[in-house]
């Protein structure tokens, strides 16, 4: 799925800094789940505060064939999109609700999940001719990866309540935003206090013996919250933004409570991006996007290494 704050653009850099844990993998703000899918841990607990998202994962895990059939009944037209958007998800049985969620995600504008004050999905139609909402092969692969996974619709702290020694926890909150934009994020319960609470949870998980990894925007306030931790900058393209220019030059932080050197290959083969049912244009888009992201990642890594080298030379000289 497309998801605001998706880690697709920095996935290889994140996976290179994680190893499948000896214990369980916790991802309590799982969103589109790309990190979980890339890591492919044997035992996992996934969660999110978004109930529709978690319910959708439950259906993918437990009833994927019914979901594939339900998605087959949808068509990519503006009229159908508006009719489906007008449905109240709570009135639908779980499989239909999950199909509605995936259909709207794939055919709406920019893959945003946004609800109005009354909780109704209100993103306009995207008009993407090749929107691939009937990707049965990928759904089946995701279903297989979700087998045995515990899914929790809960606040982040509640989701990781039983994490302990040997467990790996990946935290990916809504990005910290400067005070003006913060007003928007407050509605999602993630203003400055949310980030302070999360930093306290990071410390708590550290004391409990977990390995903890956290992503966030590169802002002085975030750096201050995690002073003393291993902090790295990942350069990326902000994947969901109305203004294409604002997608470029985005920097985010990867923060850890351990300092293993990056691994050269990711722990698991990622799910295929292009499936036989995806159009050639979509597959090409995905390939180009990945190529550009990889180049950016490489450039950022080279810049980081040369800055470290210069700093070392200065230290040696003085
Ligand atoms: C930046 S997104 C995660 C993106 C994800 N890593 C990906 O690659 O798609 C943040 C997620 O946190 C969830 N969230 C926000 N507040 C939360 C809370 N208090 N507890 C749990 N999840 C929360 C949102 O619903 C959203 O899915």
pLDDT at position 297 over 60: no
Domain assignment of residue 67, yes or no:
yes
Minimum CA distance residue for ligand 1 atom 8: 6
pLDDT at position 71 over 70: yes
**Residue 7 alpha carbon, nearest atom of ligand 1:** 8
Full-model pTM: 0.81
pLDDT number for residue 92: 97
Task: Tell me how far the alpha carbon of residue 114 lies from the centroid of ligand 1, in angstroms.
Answer: 13
Task: Answer with the one of 71, 106, 136 that is the final residue of a domain.
Answer: 136
Domain assignment of residue 145, yes or no:
no
Q: What are phi and psi of 240, to 5 degrees?
A: -120, 105
From start to end of 68-217, where are the E strands?
150-153, 168-171, 211-217
pLDDT number for residue 111: 74
pLDDT number for residue 139: 97
pLDDT at position 182 over 50: no
Q: Which of 203, 198, 200 is nearest to 215 (CA)?
A: 198
Given a contact cutoff of 8 angstroms between Cβ atoms, the answer to whether 213 and 17 are in contact is yes
The pLDDT of 64-87, averaged and rounded, is: 96
The pLDDT of 162-167, averaged and rounded, is: 97
Clarify whether residues 17 and 103 are in a common domain.
no
Q: Could you give the CA distance from residue 97 to residue 58 in angstroms, rounded to a whole number?
A: 11
Sign for the CA dihedral angle at 191, 194, 200, 201 comes to negative
Distances (CA, A) of 90 to 45, 58, 258, 301: 25, 15, 43, 46
Q: What is the CATH number of the domain that holds 122?
A: 1.10.1020.10
Q: Could you give the CA distance from residue 1 to residue 215 in angstroms, rounded to a whole number?
A: 19
Bin 40: left if φ > 0, else alpha if -120 < ψ < 50, else beta.
left
Using a pLDDT cut of 90, give the percent of the chain over it.
61
Clarify whether residues 120 and 172 are in a common domain.
no
Given a contact cutoff of 8 angstroms between Cβ atoms, the answer to whether 175 and 5 are in contact is yes
Using a pLDDT cut of 70, give the percent of the chain over it.
75
Residue where the block lists tokens 């994962």:
57
Query: In Å, how far from its chain's centre is CA 307?
Result: 29
**Residue 48 alpha carbon, nearest atom of ligand 1:** 22
Sign for the CA dihedral angle at 122, 128, 134, 139 comes to negative
Q: pLDDT by residue (tens digit) across 215-245?
A: 999 999 999 999 999 999 997 765 554 445 4
Is there an atom of ligand 1 within 6 Å of 9 CB? no
Given a contact cutoff of 8 angstroms between Cβ atoms, the answer to whether 104 and 81 are in contact is yes
Q: Which of 253, 185, 179 is nearest to 222 (CA)?
A: 253
pLDDT at position 186 over 70: no
Task: Tell me how far the alpha carbon of residue 137 lies from the centroid of ligand 1, in angstroms.
Answer: 26
Clarify whether residues 30 and 80 are in a common domain.
no
pLDDT at position 70 over 60: yes
* Per-residue pLDDT band at 7 (split at 50, 70, 90): very high
Minimum CA distance residue for ligand 1 atom 5: 31
Q: What share of the chain is helix, strand, coil (3-state, %, to 5)?
A: 50, 15, 40
Is there an atom of ligand 1 within 6 Å of 156 CB? yes
Domain assignment of residue 303, yes or no:
yes
Reading the block at residue 21, the tokens are 């844990």
Minimum CA distance residue for ligand 1 atom 26: 31
Minimum CA distance residue for ligand 1 atom 18: 155
Given a contact cutoff of 8 angstroms between Cβ atoms, the answer to whether 160 and 205 are in contact is yes
Clarify whether residues 162 and 192 are in a common domain.
yes
Reading the block at residue 95, the tokens are 């499989």
Q: What are phi and psi of 260, to 5 degrees?
A: -70, 145
pLDDT number for residue 285: 45
pLDDT number for residue 120: 87
Is there an atom of ligand 1 within 6 Å of 15 CB? no
pLDDT number for residue 129: 84
Choose between 111 and 32: higher pLDDT: 32
Is there an atom of ligand 1 within 6 Å of 250 CB? no
Q: What is the CATH number of the domain that holds 21?
A: 3.40.50.150
Mean per-residue pLDDT of the chain: 84
Q: pLDDT by residue (tens digit) across 24-50?
A: 999 999 999 999 999 999 999 999 999
- Spatial neighbors of 13 by CB under 8 A, at least 6 apart, are 234, 254, 262, 297, 301
Which domain does 223 fall in, by range? Answer: 8-49+154-317
pLDDT at position 279 over 50: no
Domain assignment of residue 71, yes or no:
yes
* Per-residue pLDDT band at 2 (split at 50, 70, 90): confident
């Amino acid at each position: 799925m497309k998801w605001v704050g998706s880690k697709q653009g920095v996935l290889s850099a994140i996976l290179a800094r994680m190893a499948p844990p000896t214990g369980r993998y916790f991802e309590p703000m799982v969103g589109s789940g790309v990190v979980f899918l890339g890591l492919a841990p044997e035992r996992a607990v996934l969660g999110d505060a978004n109930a529709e998202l978690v319910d959708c994962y439950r259906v993918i895990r437990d009833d994927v064939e019914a979901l594939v059939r339900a998605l087959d009944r949808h068509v990519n037209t503006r009229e159908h999109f508006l009719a489906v958007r007008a449905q109240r998800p709570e009135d639908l049985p779980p499989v239909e609700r999950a199909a509605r969620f995936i259909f709207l995600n794939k055919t709406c504008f920019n893959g945003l999940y946004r609800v109005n004050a009354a909780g109704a999905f209100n993103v306009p139609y995207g008009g993407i001719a090749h929107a691939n909402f009937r990707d049965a092969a990928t759904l089946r692969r995701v279903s297989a990866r979700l087998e045995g996974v515990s899914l929790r619709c809960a606040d982040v702290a509640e989701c990781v309540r039983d994490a302990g020694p040997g467990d790996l926890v990946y935290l990916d909150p809504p990005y910290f935003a400067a005070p003006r934009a913060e007003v928007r994020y407050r509605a999602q319960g993630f203003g400055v206090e949310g980030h302070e609470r999360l930093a306290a949870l990071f410390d708590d998980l550290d004391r409990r013996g977990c390995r903890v990894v956290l992503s966030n925007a590169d802002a002085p306030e975030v750096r201050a919250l995690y002073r003393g931790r291993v902090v790295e900058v990942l350069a990326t393209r902000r994947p969901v933004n109305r203004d294409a220019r604002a997608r470029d030059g985005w920097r985010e932080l990867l923060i850890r409570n351990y300092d293993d050197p990056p691994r050269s290959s990711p722990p698991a083969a990622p799910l295929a991006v292009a499936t036989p049912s995806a159009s050639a244009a979509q597959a090409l888009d995905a390939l180009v996007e990945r190529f550009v992201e990889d180049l950016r990642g490489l450039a950022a890594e080279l810049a980081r290494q040369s800055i470290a080298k210069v700093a070392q030379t200065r230290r040696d000289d003085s």
